[in-house]
Every structure is written in structure tokens, then in C-alpha cells.
Structure 1
Amino acid sequence: MLPHKFIMICAAVLGLSTCLCAQEQPKKPFLHPLFSDNMVLQREVKTPVWGWTTPGSEVTIELDGKTSTCKSGNDGKWMAELPPHKAGGPFVLKVSGPETVSRENVLLGDVWICSGQSNMEMGIGACMNAKEEAAAANYPDIRLFTVPKKIAFEPEVMLQPTQPSQAKWLVCGPDTVVADGWGGFSGAGYFFGRELYKAINVPVGLIHTSWGGTIAEAWTSEAGLQTMDDFKERLSAFQEQVAKIKQGNFDFAKEMGAWWTDNDPGSKGGWAKAEFDSTAWKDMEGMPQNWEKCGMPDFDGIAWYRKTVELPEAWANVEATLNLAMIDDRDTTFVNDVVVGGMDTWQSPRVYKLSKGTLKAGRNVIAIRMLDTGGGGGFHGDANSMNLSAEGQTAVSLAGTWQYKIAAALKDLKPAPQKLDNNPNQTTVLFNGMIAPLLPYAIKGAIWYQGESNAGQPMVYRRLLPTMIKDWRTRFGVGDFPFLIVQLANFMEVQNTPTQEGWALIRESQFVISRDIPNCGLASATDIGDTTDIHPKNKQEVGRRLALIARAKTYGEKIVFSGPVFKSMEVKGNEIILKFDNVGGGLTAEGDRLTGFAIAGADKNFVYADAKIVGDTVVVSAAGVTAPTMAYYGWANNPVCNLFNKEGLPAVPFRTNPE
């Protein structure tokens, strides 16, 4: 998982069983909390309004002189529809039945879902120029709604706020935009809404529902995933485990131990033993290191680490503490063949107590068995957070070089048991807890910033995200609403090789999805990332680019909304001529020379290419490649590339020979 995941402390198995079997559900209210003061209702469509009351009761809703009446069902749920209404307000929504409630300051406008993982979650207060942006956020016709984080094993109907600013509509202002955790309301969402509001001049409602470090399958319903062979085994394992927990016969430690034995070559091969010969293992320098920074950006699965520490006689027979920074996701840690600790949460420092006799004078071997199930993995923290310490002794640093060995890729493993109630990276659980309670609130569209945690399986993602989009569109019931995707920003160390699959493949999948799925769009962020921070601060430009797409494709403005997109190629001698769509006012390069291109011949031995702009084309060639057959552009985790159109939008990375 990625280092930014925030999650509750792991529950004990008994507590987990209690949570699943007897969790108290909140009382269902007469009017769903989505319909609060300050709400935005979707203009120009029928607008469902719902709640719960005594079965068989008549309920009437009224707004701006228009009414609708319904009866509650046997389960007490009622749902009525307001007729289409043009943008405007403020209005009062009145609901009458066994109870009477009114909601004030209601606007009719356009409602957008803002969803994804941490780059959507990242608040305005964590973005570039945060203080100035918050102070200037005086937009009373923009309204904000934050969905509380919730893992659920079946679709829920209610929202359970954990902070006062959640699960109710807030008027956009300097205080409300920073009223929630990690910087407040979604920066990407707010900047999108701000730019959109300035352009269309109608009220904008933003519903923010995201969770850092999460995978797209968590945001997809069970029915949606059942249509994909990729997830049937995981769904089955998940459902089987939930059933065991509900029956009270799930022993996580026992199940996990059996899983390790069945799936891990290191457990079978004795890799934790002090006498094990690990001389053939590779070295990983600069520890603590996450996998993105050390040549394993797309690996999900099991890896082992070992380090030998020489200790003086004074360390023998003392109680000590082993500090291992933070590990992403799971670890089992051994010292001299003894299990000394293990955790199943990420973003949690590993601090393990070593009893007397664990350490000895001379050679001591620390071995760590690690499992990562999505996104990045490895260690996170600084050098000072990895050491051995004991009272009366000088701490021994464990930073620096460790040995490591990849044991097995996730795709080759059977699904591992999970501590379900605190793990958002399970199939369906965020759809159930954070999308289902919104249904069928009328919306205009959705923006989506996610993919980092699915980067290890880009081709599966190419099938998964369209499934999720189709699923959401069906369930919200407003047709094929616009779905706008942020293409992952540049991140990680710049590589010296001209091609590096990594995030290039997940970006390609995002582009293909946006191209092939009706009413989708792509905002590329490959020029506004950060080498060392997976959370780039320039969410203003992300929001602006998303708004450009919406203005053009949803609202019909005649504007340039995309950077250059590869169209076709032609080989002439030792040159490749590349043609593009979306050139806008023309192609241009930021800087002295055009960069980011690589070419190869039939041998597929790519080398960096010289590139020049000729009209609306780019001509590329390279010394030693006399018969080029293919070209790449921006094909790396952190591409150094600078082709734009004159409207300032970056070219979308591509390869001319997709497989």
C-alpha cells in the first residue's frame, strides 16, 4: 500500500467478530442526511428525495411551489421525485408526513462526485499556496459535502460521520474548505468546482468520497465485480471469510499462518533462520526505502529482508527494542529465528520489544517477511527510525544496506486472509460504505483521481475501471454521466533508461479507458508531479484541467481541453514522423529542446531520440537506428518530457506499438 494510507488500529479477532456480528446500526431518519440545509440539488432532471418513516405512511415533498407525494413501503422507506427545475435558489425543501421537516438555503445546480484515493482526498490546506487559497474561497454558490470513511460488507443506506463537518452540506468559505482532516475538503475537487462555477455561473455541489491508498475494486459493487473473471476468486474468498467471522469461527492468526505455509517460498525454505545462506540475495541500499524508489515500483506480493548485526557482549541477555520504521503492508519479523513481532496495518511504526536472551553477543540476524497487496510497498520513514536500542546501551543503527529477495508475486498467490473491519482494500467495501449510501442522489458527473494503488496490474485495471464506471452509472440512474479521470502525475526518481514500464502502463490504461468509454475524459498530470512526493501540491492545475474537459465535453464550450494525443506515425528513412490530435494553437516545447522521445527498430532496443517540431508533427531520429519501427513518449514513472500545445496542456504519454 501507499505511504499515505490512514487506517484504524488493528482490531483483535474477538473484537472483529463482535463488530461484524452485532454492530449497532444508526436509526434511519425521516429524511436522509444528504438532504440537509445548504444542499445543491441537480438541476433539469427528476430529483429523488428519500427517507424512512412508519410503513404505509403518505409523505409529501415541496420545493418552489412544486410537490410530489408517495407512500412508504413495508420497510418504512419512502422516495418521491421532484420534477425537473432550472438552476437557481435559494429555496426551502419541505417534507411532510408523520413528521415535518424543512431544509433551508437549497440551491439547484450541478452536482459532481469527487472520488478516488489520496490525491483526491488531499485537502486544500495541504495544497500549494494553501493559506491564500483558503482565504479566497468565498463562493457561497459552491456547496461541499464530505462522505465519512466507512468500510462495509454489504451496501449501506446511512452515513456515519466521525467529524462535525461530515455528512452535511456546507457553504464554501474560508473556514469550511479546511474544516476536515488532512487539509480539509478535497483540493482537486474544490479547484475543479471553482473553475467550473466561474465558467458556467450556476451553483455547484461537490460530494467528496475518497480514501487514501485504496484500490478501484474496493469502490466497485459485488454485482459489478461478478462480471469479471479477474475478481471471482477474491470475491469468493472475501465472502467466505465474512461468513466465518459472522459465525464466530474465524481465527485470523491460524488462517494467516496456514496461508504463509501454503504460499510463501521463504516460509517453506527457512529464510528466517540465522544459518540460512543469503549471499545470493540482492542488496537494497539507503534503508528505510519504499519499493517505488528502489526499482520495484509495480511489485505487489511477498518479499523478504535480512540484516546481520554484530553486537558486543554487553547486549547479551538484555531487554531491547527493535525499531523498523513503518512497513507497508504486513510484516512478520524474526530475530535469531524467533518471531518478535508483526503487524497487519500500514502507516504504523514497527516497535517490537525483545525479551532477554533474544539478542546475543556477536552475530545476530534480523529477518522480515513482508506482504504488499496493492500500490507501493516496503519501508517508510527516516534513518533514525531504524535501530536497536536498550537501556544503558548506545543505539545501533539499522539504516543503510539490507539484503532482500522477492518471494512471490501477488498475481500468483491465493487471496490472503484479511482483518476485514479495518482494511479498505477489499473488494466492494468502499462501494458499500461510501457510494451506496449516496444512491440514487441525482448528479451531473464524477471526477476520479486514483490508480496508484492499482499500478501493479495495469491490464486488469483496463477492464476494472470501465466496469466500475458502468456500475456507478447504472446505480445513480442519470444515464452515462461524465466521468473525468486524472492521469497519474510524474513521480519517483528519474530513470536513465529510455523506457520504463512502471506507471507508464497504468497511464496508458487510463488513456485507453477515457478514449473508449463514452462520455469520459482524461486530464494528464505528467508535468505537475513531484519526484519525492506522491502527493504533488499543484492541485489547482489538476482542477483546472478537469474543468476544461467538463466545459468542452459536458457544457459544449468550444475550447481546447486536452494536450496533444498521438494519432499516427509514418517512417521515412531513418526518421519517424508523429502526428497528433488536439494540437490546439500548435505544438510547442517547454525549454530549449524537445525531450521525452525514444525510438527502436525491429530489435526493440530503445534509445533516446532527437526530436523536433515540424508544423503539427514531431520528427524523431537517433544515431544508430537506421530503420526505426516504433516510438515511445514519456514512457516512465517520472518522464522528462516537454511537448505541449500552445494552450499549455501536456501531450499524453504514448507508445506507437501498444501490445
Structure 2
Amino acid sequence: MNLKYSSGLLSSFVVIATFSIYQTAEAKVKLPSVFSDNMVFQQKTQAAIWGKDDPGKTITIIPSWDKKKYTVKTDASGNFKQKIQTPSYGGPYTISINDGEDLTLKNVLIGEVWVCSGQSNMEMPLAGWGKVNNYEDEIAKANYPNIRLLQAIRKTSNFPLDDVEVRNTGWDECSPASVADFSSVAYFFARELYKETKIPIGLIHTSWGGTIAEAWTSAATLKTMPDFKDAVVKIESSSKDQAELKRKYQADLAKWQADMVGKDAGYREGKAIWLDNQSSNDWKTMAVPGLWEEKALPSFDGVVWMKKKISIPQSWVGKEIQLSLGTIDDDDITWINDTKVGQTVGVSVPRKYTIAANTLKAGDNTITVRVFDSGGGGGFFGDEKSLALINPDGERISLAGQWQYHVGVDVKDVGAAPTVVDGPNRPTVLYNAMIHPFLNFAIKGAIWYQGESNAGRAYQYRELFPAMIKDWRKNWNEPDFPFYFVQLANYQKRGEQPGESDWAELREAQSKTLALPNTGMASAIDIGDAGDIHPKNKQEVGRRLALIALAKNYGKKITYSGPVYTTHQVAGNTIKLSFTHTDSGLKSTTGSSLKGFEIAGDDHKFVWADAKIVGNQVIVSSPQVSKPTAVRYGWANNPEVSLTNASGLPASPFRTDDWKGITYSAK
């Protein structure tokens, strides 16, 4: 199984707080961190309260909403658990928990509790590194004391944990002070729900940027899946001595890295030999930026050397020059001519190197970049503007365009990298540390924004993602709780011609997950950013998720989805497409013609298509394809899309064919 072990899209919250695992007050009773002042209990349910005290201790619990007394004794290990009946939404209330000394939870609300999880686009805060659209104004207006926030602190564990550290030792009322570093998607989701229903909302935010879905799935479920079983068994059988594990990992990693260099054709006796122009006479070319899976090397993981010749004016010579290479997936070593100018590990780190004066010469110079990718997409990605040489006067030489490339070594020839012992991108370790502690806590449902880190294994995600959802539902003992998720936004440079796309295949896997009951998908295909994997319009993402919940859970008669493809019919040289969720009619955002459609015959060669709306169908054709067999729409990392319904919600990308994609065999 090929997993990414870099921090991926990882970004950090700025957390100004002190942390404690237990809310202790002055009593002996110890409660997990999910219980604190300002908390929200799920309405109209048997909600559990649990904790620890001395063995054999009698605990009395009295909620103020009905003043009913619940009595429970701790077991031989000092654990107790008691379910209490919660009323319809309201508050504030108090809950007394007494073992002879009283611990009182104050300012408690009854409402709806939603778990909010995923990777960096769920983690992205309003301020901090996120800075959503109009973030200063949004933060200033975030006075919603009936929305409550619980922020889990990142942690991994090889074994299930009973508790998790949280920001500020517990729940916060939503205010300008508390919301700035909280999940923007979660907040905008809750704000929309609260405005429409006036029901208090509790948000449990537990996410981690750059992480893979299998990290959020239980060991029991993963062991039923051949792709993950061995890795999970290895984790479960590992020593709990972290120092010992880290020493072994460092030794294994050093040996693996040496093997990679030893088998890399671009090195001889540890020295880079592909830095001069003569060495690249037989190299091929690909366009940069763009991941090499989409350009020239489908499903390739390993080392690729990339090279570009550039002409430097005399006026630049003798000056310190800045080199920007945008973002590289995963690691790079970079030379100018035969001088090493930089080296970076990790996909999330911008490549900005300073080239010392007199390194560049007037006329031709060569930039050589050794790129290593451990899995999924590899190479340069992002905006063309981010690839440039920049002199002290701000003058720029673009580095976008055609680069030469040559494979150095395929990971298959060396073997998979050793598994990190404490990183988040390992099967089950985030479930253990950041989901398992909440399983006894009654919730309404979950929202999820993740998939970027699994895009290179999109076919595998077809099985993994629904398995994770069923796993959570089973372990929460809520077999059908609502689970709503965001379909990946458009991202990266827009292609000039139709082509394959791992992100499109991941979106398809997400769409297929809607076959599970009580799921919903908010498409973000029209609100992404070509140059930023973290688009700023999180307001609309949260709103679209809330539309699903309002329609499915709160009885609102509203449109909550864009058009969804259902069937197609070949009619001569055209293909007719039918949809659900057409609202009061299909619409185009680009006038009379539709963008984003492509068509192919039996040769599987797609070309851009003519498409028009006729009633609630779309008719697709092309003069280049006389006998069409397949249509695709929005099938790209960053497609141009135009099909909506009358409510303005975008159609989800789709294809009518089932031809094998580029991630079909990726594990």
C-alpha cells in the first residue's frame, strides 16, 4: 500500500490556551474534555455522561431541566457511565455531578451537535493561515452565543484513546474572540442552521490538514480491507515504547534513502551527474506546472529529474536573485547550473530559494530539479505565476512552460518507504486519537471535507470512504446518522484539452458514496481557486452543506443540490443526458452554450463538445465524433463548468462511461 508520509497540506492552528484532559473543578469526579461549561447536549435523546472516580463511588447526576436524580456507581476501575434524557432544544441549564463534592457544569444548552472532520479545507480557520473572504468583517460579526465550539487538539495514537485534549479546556461560546481560529466551514454551516432554525448548535471540530481517510477509520474496519490489513496489524503489534520505535524508523529511513540514491540513474557514486545540458539530449518534455501523472507519467511514484534552460540578461549578473518554484509534490533538490541552491521536504512548503550573486551568468543557464514523490500526484503544481526568477528590482522571468524530464528511479525498484511511527498519515491513528474519544457522546450528525490526500488512489476511495462512514455510524451506535460531505473544489491550471484526472476520479468516488442512506454532497466545483488548494469562499461551502441539513433534517422545502446526472441515450450523432435536482429548470452560466462537456466514440478519444439545454435534458454532440458513445462533464482538476439549476447550485461532475481511469490500480 502506497501512502504519503509528508505532512501534505498540513497547516497549524495558532492556539492560545492551556490544555487539560479532565475538567476537575474541586471534586474528585473526573470528566472527559467533551464535558465542560458552555457545552451542548444533543436534544431529545438518551445522552451519556461518563468519567472516573474512586472505585465503588456513588455518583449523583441532576440536570436542571427536569431536576431528575440519576444515580450510578463506579466500577472496580473507577469508571462510570450514565444516560440522561434530554428535552427539546433550549437552555441555558446546569448539570450537577456529585460524589460527595459537587461539580456543576454551567451555561449548558440543549440543541444539535455536529462532528466536523477532514483535512485542511475543514481545518482552515477564518483568520490565521486561512483568511477566508472578508475574514475581518466575518469575525467581527460572529456573535452567536447559542453556537458553541469545541476544538480538538491534534494527536495520533496507535491504540484507541478515551479522551482528547481540547482548546481552552472545553467548549467556547461563539464570539469574535473564539471563532477566529476555528474551522470556517464548520462555523458557516452552523451559522446558516442557527439563522434558519434558532436551534442551538454544538460543533465538535476534529480535523488535521493533509491527512488520508484511512487515518480516520477504525482498525476493525480497515482489517476487513486487503489494501490496509497488513499496515493496521503492524501498527497494532508495534511497541508502545515511542523512543524505540523512532530509533528504528530513523535507521530504516536512512537505509531506504541511501537505496533510493544508489539506484537513482541521476547519481553516480553519490554525485549528481545530470546537471549539464549535454546529459539531457535524449530527455522528453512536459508542461510545467502540472502533476506528471496528468502530463506524461501516469501512476508513477519515485524520482524524476526536471530541467529548464533559461536566458539571463547581463543586467542581472552579480545580483542576488530569488527563485520561486511554487509548490512541489513531495520533495526537491534544486541546482542552478552545477550549484545547489535549495532543498525542501514536504508538499505544503513553498519553494523560494535565494540564488547568490554571481551564480547566474549572462546568457544560457540551467535549472535542474530532482523531484521525489512517494505516492499520489507528483511534480510541480499551482499557479504559473508562482514559477519565476525575480531580481531585486522586481523584474521576473517566467519558468512556466516546457521542461525536460527523465526518470531517476521508480519506487517499485526500491520498495515502499518505511512507515513513520508518529505521523498522522497512517491507518487508524487519527480515529484512535481524535474520533474514538467522542464515540459515547450523542450527536446529530457529521460534516466532512477531505479527499485531496487520497486523490491518487481514487478507485480505492470508492470502497474506503463509504466504509469509513459506516464505521463511524456503527461505533457511535447511530447506524443512520446524517453524514454530509464536500466534493472537491476545482484546483490547478486549467487544461486546454480533455484529459484524465485523478481529482475527477476522486469526485466520482465521492458521488458514488451517495448510495449510502442519509448522506449528502455539497459540490464546490465552481468556487475553487486554480492557484490555491484552500479556496477562500468557505461561506458558500458552509451554506451548501447547511442546505442539505435544512432540507433533510429540519423540514425546509428548499433546493439543496445542483443537477445530478442519471441516464443517457445515444440518438444518432448526439447523446441526450437526463438529470434529477433540476429545480424549476436547467440553467447555463455561460449563455446559450454550455461549457465543460466532452464527447468520445469507441476510440476513447475525448474532444470538447457542443452542448445545449432542451427542457430538462442536455443534448451533446461534436462534428468530430459521428458515432458517440460517452460524455464527460467537468472531468478535470480545474474544469470550466456552467450547468446549474434555477437555484444556482452547480451540477456535479460526471461521466457516462466506466472506462478504467488513471488511479484504477493505485494502492
Aligned to 1:259: 256
The amino acid across from 2:418 in the alignment is P
Do 1:487 and 1:523's aligned partners in 2 also have CA atoms closer than 8 Å? yes
Q: Is there any run of 5+ residues in structure 2 with no aligned partner, and where?
A: 1-5, 14-18, 25-29, 311-319, 356-363, 391-396, 660-667
Alignment pair present for 1:132 and 2:137: yes
Aligned to 2:72: 70
Alignment of 1:526-565 (within 5 A): 526-565=525-564
Residue in 2 that maps onto 1:231: 228
| Aligned residues of 1:333 and 1:341 also touching (Cα < 8 A) | yes
Residue of structure 1 aligned with 2:108, choices 99, 106, 109: 106
CA gap 1:135/1:543 in 2 versus in 1, 3 angstroms:
same
* Aligned 8 A contact 2:21 2:33 in 1: no
Change (3 A) 1:209 1:522: same
Q: Distance in 2 between matches of 1:364 and 1:606?
A: 36
Is the partner of 1:124 in helix, strand or coil? coil
Distance 2:367 2:535 in 1: 38
In structure 2, the CA distance between the partners of 1:399 and 1:607, relative to structure 1 (3 Å rule), is closer
Q: Which amino acid aligns with 1:571?
A: V
Look up the match of 2:611: 611
Structure 1 residues 606 and 327: CA distance shift in structure 2, 3 A: closer
Q: Is the 8 A contact 1:523 1:546 kept in 2?
A: yes
Residue of structure 1 in register with 2:202 after alignment: 205
Q: In 2, distance between residues paired with 1:301 and 1:105? A: 53
1:491, 1:349 → 2: CA distance? 17
Change (3 A) 1:371 1:597: closer
Question: Could you tell me how far apart the structure 1 residues matched to 2:499 and 2:194 are?
Answer: 40
Match of 2:84 among 76, 82, 85: 82
Query: CA offset at residue 241 of structure 1?
Result: 6.1
TM-score, scaled relative to structure 2? 0.81
Aligned letter for 2:232? Answer: L
Change (3 A) 1:166 1:658: farther
Deviation at residue 121 of structure 1 after TM alignment: 0.9
Contact residue 487 and residue 524 of structure 2 kept, 8 A = yes
**Distance in 2 of aligned mates of 1:209 and 1:253:** 29
1:112-153 CA distance string (max 9 Å, x none):
011111111111231111122122222121111111111222
Deviation for aligned residue 1:564: 0.7
Residue matched to 1:158? 163
CA contact (8 A) 2:21 2:169 kept: no
Report the equivalent of 1:469.
469
Q: What's the counterpart of residue 48 of structure 1?
A: 48
Task: Map 1:416-427 to 2 at 5 A.
Answer: 416-421=417-422, 423-427=423-427
Write the distance in 2 (CA, Å) between the matches of 1:52 and 1:37: 18
- The correspondence for 2:372, drawn from 365, 370, 373, is 370
Deviates more, 1:363-372 or 1:78-87: 363-372
Distance in 1 between residues matched to 2:262 and 2:438, nearest whole Å: 44
**Are the equivalent residues in 2 in contact too, given 1:335–1:364 (CA < 8 A)?**
yes
Q: Could you tell me whether the CA contact under 8 Å between 2:376 and 2:457 is conserved in 1?
A: no
Query: What are the within-5 Å matches in structure 2 for residues 80-479 of structure 1?
Result: 80-97=82-99, 99-125=101-127, 126-161=131-166, 165-178=167-180, 184-239=181-236, 247=244, 250-260=247-257, 266-267=263-264, 270=267, 273-275=271-273, 277-283=279-285, 291=291, 295=295, 301-305=301-305, 328-330=329-331, 345-347=346-348, 368=370, 370-374=372-376, 378=380, 403-406=404-407, 414-421=415-422, 423-479=423-479
- 2:34 aligns with 34
Distance in 2, matches of 1:398 and 1:651, equals 36
Q: Secondary structure of the equivalent of 2:506? A: helix
Task: Give the counterpart letter for 1:121 in structure 2.
Answer: E
Q: Is the 8 A contact 2:125 2:184 kept in 1?
A: yes
Q: Is the Cα–Cα contact under 8 Å of residues 47 and 81 in structure 1 kept in the other structure? A: yes
Q: Cα deviations across residues 349-407 of structure 1 (Å, max 9, x unaligned)?
A: 789999xxxxxxx99997736233456665889979999xxxxxxxxx99778654445
> 2: CA distance between counterparts of 1:376 and 1:213?
15
CA RMSD between the two structures? 4.1
* Contact 2:261-2:267 within 8 A present in 1 as well: no
In 1, distance between residues paired with 2:94 and 2:429?
Answer: 35
Distance of 1:617 and 1:249 partners within structure 2: 58
Distance in 2, matches of 1:435 and 1:221, equals 9
What is the CA distance between 1:270 and its match in structure 2? 4.1
SS of equivalent to 1:503: helix
Partner of 1:91: helix, strand, or coil?
Answer: strand
Q: Distance in 1 between matches of 2:495 and 2:122?
A: 27
User: Whole-Å Cα distance in 2 between the matches of residues 136 and 142 of structure 1?
Assistant: 13
Q: What do residues 409-437 of structure 1 show as CA deviations (whole Å, max 9, x unaligned)? A: 7789744224433x211111211221122
SS at match of 2:561: coil
- Structure 1 distance, partners of 2:533, 2:546, is 22
Q: Deviations over 1:527-573 (max 9, x none)?
A: 11111111111111111111111112223333221111111111221
Letter in structure 1 aligned against 2:113: V
Q: Report the Cα distance in structure 2 between the residues aligned to 1:154 and 1:50, rounded to whole angstroms.
A: 20
Q: Which residue pairs with 1:583 in the alignment? A: 582
Q: How far has the Cα of 1:335 moved from its partner?
A: 11
- 8 A contact 2:266–2:272 mirrored in 1: no
Matched residue, 1:20: none
Answer with 490-499 or 257-266: which moved more. 257-266
Secondary structure of residue in 2 paired with 1:443: coil
- Which AA in structure 2 matches 1:144? L
Partner amino acid, structure 2, of 1:185 = F
**How far, CA to CA, are the matches of 1:172 and 1:292 in structure 2?**
44
Q: Distance in 1 between matches of 2:652 and 2:386?
A: 37
Q: Gapped runs of 5+ residues in structure 1?
A: 9-23, 179-183, 311-319, 355-361, 388-396
Contact 1:214 1:453 in 2 (8 A): yes
Distance in structure 1 (CA, Å) of the matches to 2:103 and 2:75: 20
1:278: Cα distance to partner? 4.7
Identity %, equivalent residues: 43
TM-score, reference length from structure 1: 0.82
Q: In 2, distance between residues paired with 1:499 and 1:443?
A: 42
Residues 224-272 of structure 1: per-residue CA shift (max 9 Å, x gap)? 2111111123334545665685656843343124434667884377466
Change (3 A) 1:27 1:85: closer
SS at match of 1:481: coil
- Alignment match, 2:644: 644
Q: In 2, are the aligned partners of 1:187 and 1:540 still within 8 Å (CA)? A: yes
Secondary structure at 2:628's aligned position in 1? Answer: coil
Per the TM alignment, residue 61 of structure 1 is displaced from its structure 2 partner at its CA by 1.6
> Tell me, what secondary structure is at the counterpart of 2:230?
helix
1:11 aligns to what?
Answer: none
Q: Deviations over 1:61-114 (max 9, x none)?
A: 221212322222233222111114211111001111154211111011100011
Amino acid at match of 1:106: V
**Taking structure 1 as reference, are residues 258 and 209 closer, same or farther at Cα in structure 2, changes over 3 Å only?**
same
Residue pair 1:51, 1:79 contacting (<8 A) in 2 also: yes
Residue 499 of structure 1 and its aligned partner are, at CA, apart by 3.6
Amino acid at match of 2:421: L
Contact 2:155 2:430 in 1 (8 A): yes
